[in-house]
Structure 1
Amino acid sequence: MSVSRRTFLGGGLAAAAVAATGTPLLTACGASQNDVAAANRAVRLPTFTKYAGVTPDLPSDGVVLDGFLKYPANPVRAITEAPGNGRPITFLTNIPGAIPPAADRNQFWQALNERLGSELQISMASNDEYKDKFATRIAGGDLPDILNIPVDTAQIPGLVKAKCLDLSEHLSGDAVQKYPFLANIPTDFWKGCVFNGAIYGVPVPRGMSRTSLALYREDLLAAKGIKDPRPKNFEEFFDLAKELTAAKQNRWAWTRVPLSTIRQMLGVPNVWKENGGKFSSSYEDEANQEALESGRKMVAAGVVNPDAFNDKASARKQWFNGGIAAFDYDSFVAWNQYYADNTAGDAFAVNMLDVPGGTPWMGGALNNVTAFSKDSKHSPETLLKIANWMAAPFGTEEYLFRKYGVAGRHYTLQGTDPIPSKAGVVETGIGLQYISDAPLSLYWAGKPEVPRKQHAVQQKIAKQLVHDASYGLYSDTQSKKQAQLARTMTDLETQIIQGKKPVSDWARGVADWKAAGGDKMRSELEQALADTAGK
């Protein structure tokens, strides 16, 4: 399943939230769907004001991200006053890497607390364990001051209505200018923070940075004499995969079956498509049959690592870094992470293919929504100042500290570029990016060719990107049932591409999906769109 698709928590979290709030979450809103949609439509989203204090080497156009060939010299400290109030502030979050040393053994965390003017107490869990921890905390009513809410959380409207602060008066329209780095987050990202006719959180933006395509090991392809791969269709794409496979040498073209890439080649929608107020799901597109046939063909030809169906994402990343596989389907964020995890030395180089003959999917708008507990003893202003500090953009001194730590311990300067030390990698990974974050800038310390390549790819795909039409719309059925239904569909497609079931079973699977909730999701999304449009 593509990383740009949404997957949703099942009924367990919804049940936990009901236990915490004492009421089913959607009805906790206390209004009909139509009334809620009208109230959401009336919300004034924060006024976007792009930060002008740093000039990128490779400018954004509103879709393509800003790129920097080096870190700006003498970065400006943009916030002169500590945002905290001297009292501890608690935060619950996931961590994408290993759990870092605790604050009493973590010099970065200690320096952070000093800068914030408040001790930041972070309760963290790995990505795999976070949703269970989140559900447990919600069910127990034990909420921190700052809460990282995954966008696929079941029935968010009732949860935030019952447990979180309404931030509208502080963020609507020009009010956000009091927090200039929150104002630097483009308006569209705030749509995912509006519930019950109010702004209930701060967005952690992704969008283009989370857009995923076929990443490839440029150095491995170059060793085969392939310098600028541009397959125009599936057959050329397949031929390239066969050329890069040498199973006897433990080398395969792909870390997994590139179904998302194949679907994009064939014009399959990005989650949901809308036309004239009518919605259709990516599952329903007839091109899925051809995509599944093509996936089966790649498996049968042996161009995919045979362990792809058994191992987790972490294993796939190791295969790519270790040269066991030349291609992986992932995002611009992952592109940078591959350089961070590189074990191949200076020769290691990554690039990205455009979709051969098709249209790429825009990445999901948000990583998470950051909300503040109603029971917090801190003022909304204090918590928003903390979020604003965390959103200071690339090129500022705050960003340099937040991402790289303290010079001498966590990084050394190579010219003006911060090169992380081992201590820097270990100690800085405490999840600050999930309180708030600036839109990603394209950059890799000491390697200006990385942002150049990334910027060139983004310029190529920017006008072709296909968006998920359901973004900013709420379906209660989708919120509660999509996780289980998506797992069922993923299991079916896996069995089909492995040759364990015929492609014809897909149509039956789609019919079952529709009956089990897909049709209801569609009607709810259509109604939400009509209500939001004021029809």
Structure 2
Amino acid sequence: MPVSRRTFLGGGLAAAAVAVTGTPLLAGCASDKKNSAAVNAAVKLPTYQKYGAIKPDLPGNDAVLDAFLKYPANPVKAITDKPGDGQPISFITNIPGAIPPAADNNQFWQAVNERLGSELQISMASNDEYPDKLATRIAGGDLPDIINIPPTTVQIPGLLKAKAMDLTEQLSGDGVLKYPFLANIPTVYWKGCVFNGAIYGVPVPRGMSRTTLPLYRADLLAAKGIKDPAPKNFEEFLALAQEMTAAKENKWAWTKPPLPYIRQMIGLPNQWKEEGGKFTSFYEAEGSSEALEAGRKMVEAGVVNPDTFSAKASARKQWFNGGIASFDIDSFVAWNQYYADNTAGDAFSVNMLDVPGFDGGQGKPWMGSALNNVTAFSKDSKHSVETLLKIANWMAAPFGTEEYLFRKYGLEGRHYTLNGTDPTPTKTGVVETGIGLQYISDSALALYWAGKPDVPQRQHAIQEKIADRLVYDASYGLYSETLSKDGARLTKQMTDLENEIMSGNKPVSDWAPAVKNWLSSGGEKIRGELQQAFTATSGK
């Protein structure tokens, strides 16, 4: 049967739960019958009630995000009462950027505390260090009031059952309407918070904002006389990359081989495909070797920066921003981040390629993962569940509200200046506001960039182009214990081989036996668990 949006978004976190360390974070965390697919499917999810006070310039739909060409004038102040209870509230999270100044030297953080009516005590770590920090806190029984649970956390059902508050009574059905901005999160995202027959957290939604396609430096392509590139097949795509490569000038088309994009050209599954209750991984799907051969061909052609296989992600982003590379495969979130990190001046311009078929026609873009994380509340918290939910509700106030403007941009004058109605961050603003509030809760991403209406226009346009062709991961909403415990190890083996093949160190013929080994080492067991969960819910 076709994979619906409901199936796709139905518990993205559970399906993506894979091991980071290879060992359980908590003794006894293994899931049991209380986490069966049938029991979880019976949970009445929170009612969706869209917040209608703000009208987008370019409306979205179930897949396409709302776009705004400027920040609305006179933003709505949507919350009048302070959500806190006067006592300190602790939170642990990852931080994608540099660790900001501490609260006693951070006027934004101080202003957040004042608005909340409680001191927010945040324990932060970098993206790379966070899994280990979280594991240490769990093992030590030292959990804060609010916990950012990433998709890579091992055996999530057991962890949440042992350590987190059950929020079903407060959020199920119309109960969520007491928290209007949590109700503004579409119901389907809440499926990713259901474990053990209960709602155990608040979703931080992503979906389309995480859809990943080639971003390109439109200004660099325009300088070569290339406007609105639209390759019709792989050969034209490769020719475009060759045109944008000048190795003697230290310029390459690509930051890294765009293997996921090639797989979308060929029409491979988005992680897992389901047909008649039978699941197929993209590793084993027909065309997987062809995709690797095409990636190897790009590296051999010299259109990929030769340092790509040893470079960190941060270095590849610097290549793109600095003009050393003109293409990078990444998401709509990264598109905005590139503008935030822009060092090329006003000429800097980014756009995104559509997906052609490998041999012509149209390709099949992959929908991004449903959730960034689930936010759980510690069972041992001394705060009431209502207080913690009011904090999350405040954090989820959507684009166009006064709360959103403050939460994302800070205090006018210190953290941003207004250009018309658009907030432009100051250097101090960039440094002080990055304290991770978006990982407590958040509204769906709005397409917007201050002072540059062409950015959301381009983003909205490409989303409308691909919306009807999106391919969803059939495993979303279906928990696999083997995937949770062994997924990271199994995936790393395949990723390492992909890189060896594309770099020319191993032949493409090594892929087929590696897939057989992947299946016998756990892939077949993952398939069986997903199929069993799918059957138990009859595809719901």
TM-score w.r.t. length of structure 2: 0.95
Aligned in 2, Cα 1:24/1:68: closer, same or farther, shift over 3 Å?
closer
Aligned in 2, Cα 1:439/1:40: closer, same or farther, shift over 3 Å?
same
Equivalent in the alignment of 1:166: 166
Name the CA distance, whole Å, in 2 between partners of 1:43 and 1:294. 45
Equivalent in the alignment of 1:313: 313
Name the CA distance, whole Å, in 1 between partners of 2:29 and 2:211. 34
| Structural RMSD (CA) | 1.4
Name the CA distance, whole Å, in 2 between partners of 1:322 and 1:368. 31
* Deviation readout 1:148-173 (Å, 9 max, x if unpaired): 00122111000000110000011111
SS in 1 for 2:289: helix
Q: Is the 1:7–1:483 Cα contact (8 Å) retained in structure 2?
A: no
Name the CA distance, whole Å, in 2 between partners of 1:59 and 1:397. 20
* Deviation readout 1:102-154 (Å, 9 max, x if unpaired): 00000000000000000000000000100010111111111110000012211
Equivalent in the alignment of 1:527: 532
Q: Which amino acid aligns with 1:88?
A: P
Per the TM alignment, residue 286 of structure 1 is displaced from its structure 2 partner at its CA by: 2.1
SS in 2 for 1:99: coil
Name the CA distance, whole Å, in 2 between partners of 1:171 and 1:10. 29
Equivalent in the alignment of 2:21: 12
- The equivalent position to 1:366 in structure 2, one of 358, 363, 371, is 371
Q: Is the 1:38–1:534 Cα contact (8 Å) retained in structure 2?
A: no
Tell me if 1:127 matches 2:136.
no
Equivalent in the alignment of 2:446: 441
* Deviation readout 1:466-516 (Å, 9 max, x if unpaired): 011111110000000110000000000110111111101000110010000
Name the CA distance, whole Å, in 2 between partners of 1:184 and 1:369. 16
Tell me if 1:413 matches 2:396.
no
Name the CA distance, whole Å, in 1 between partners of 2:34 and 2:388. 31
Per the TM alignment, residue 347 of structure 1 is displaced from its structure 2 partner at its CA by: 0.2
Aligned residues: 523
Q: Which amino acid aligns with 2:25?
A: A
Tell me if 1:384 matches 2:389.
yes
* Deviation readout 1:266-296 (Å, 9 max, x if unpaired): 0110011111111010111121111111111
Name the CA distance, whole Å, in 2 between partners of 1:124 and 1:269. 36
Equivalent in the alignment of 2:8: none
Name the CA distance, whole Å, in 2 between partners of 1:334 and 1:194. 29
Equivalent in the alignment of 1:73: 73
**Structure 1: gaps of 5 or more residues:** none
Per the TM alignment, residue 62 of structure 1 is displaced from its structure 2 partner at its CA by: 1.8
Q: Is the 1:14–1:25 Cα contact (8 Å) retained in structure 2?
A: no
Q: Is the 1:106–1:427 Cα contact (8 Å) retained in structure 2?
A: yes
SS in 1 for 2:263: helix
Name the CA distance, whole Å, in 2 between partners of 1:147 and 1:469. 28
Name the CA distance, whole Å, in 2 between partners of 1:56 and 1:102. 36
Name the CA distance, whole Å, in 1 between partners of 2:167 and 2:519. 37
Equivalent in the alignment of 1:86: 86
Q: Which amino acid aligns with 2:19?
A: G
- The equivalent position to 2:515 in structure 1, one of 471, 495, 510, is 510
Q: Which amino acid aligns with 2:484?
A: S
Per the TM alignment, residue 16 of structure 1 is displaced from its structure 2 partner at its CA by: 2.8
Aligned in 2, Cα 1:277/1:534: closer, same or farther, shift over 3 Å?
closer
Equivalent in the alignment of 1:304: 304
Residue pairs, 1:209-220, within 5 angstroms: 209-220=209-220
Name the CA distance, whole Å, in 1 between partners of 2:76 and 2:23. 45
Name the CA distance, whole Å, in 1 between partners of 2:132 and 2:201. 21
Per the TM alignment, residue 8 of structure 1 is displaced from its structure 2 partner at its CA by: 5.2
Tell me if 1:145 matches 2:145.
yes
Per the TM alignment, residue 76 of structure 1 is displaced from its structure 2 partner at its CA by: 1.1
Equivalent in the alignment of 1:225: 225
Per the TM alignment, residue 37 of structure 1 is displaced from its structure 2 partner at its CA by: 2.1
Tell me if 1:497 matches 2:502.
yes
Per the TM alignment, residue 329 of structure 1 is displaced from its structure 2 partner at its CA by: 0.2
Equivalent in the alignment of 2:179: 179
Name the CA distance, whole Å, in 2 between partners of 1:498 and 1:437. 40
Equivalent in the alignment of 2:403: 398
Equivalent in the alignment of 2:351: 351
Q: Is the 1:473–1:525 Cα contact (8 Å) retained in structure 2?
A: yes
Q: Is the 2:29–2:157 Cα contact (8 Å) retained in structure 1?
A: no
Equivalent in the alignment of 1:485: 490
Equivalent in the alignment of 2:340: 340
Q: Which amino acid aligns with 2:347?
A: A
Per the TM alignment, residue 7 of structure 1 is displaced from its structure 2 partner at its CA by: 6.5
Aligned in 2, Cα 1:11/1:101: closer, same or farther, shift over 3 Å?
closer
Name the CA distance, whole Å, in 1 between partners of 2:184 and 2:80. 18
Per the TM alignment, residue 533 of structure 1 is displaced from its structure 2 partner at its CA by: 2.2
* Deviation readout 1:218-269 (Å, 9 max, x if unpaired): 0000000000100010000000000000000000000000101100000110
Name the CA distance, whole Å, in 1 between partners of 2:423 and 2:29. 49
SS in 2 for 1:369: strand
Residue pairs, 1:249-288, within 5 angstroms: 249-288=249-288
**Structure 2: gaps of 5 or more residues:** 1-11, 358-362
Name the CA distance, whole Å, in 2 between partners of 1:436 and 1:425. 20
Name the CA distance, whole Å, in 1 between partners of 2:387 and 2:536. 35
Name the CA distance, whole Å, in 2 between partners of 1:281 and 1:13. 21
Aligned in 2, Cα 1:24/1:424: closer, same or farther, shift over 3 Å?
closer
SS in 1 for 2:531: helix
TM-score w.r.t. length of structure 1: 0.96
Equivalent in the alignment of 1:241: 241
Equivalent in the alignment of 1:188: 188
SS in 1 for 2:192: helix
Q: Which amino acid aligns with 1:270?
A: N
Q: Which amino acid aligns with 2:533?
A: A
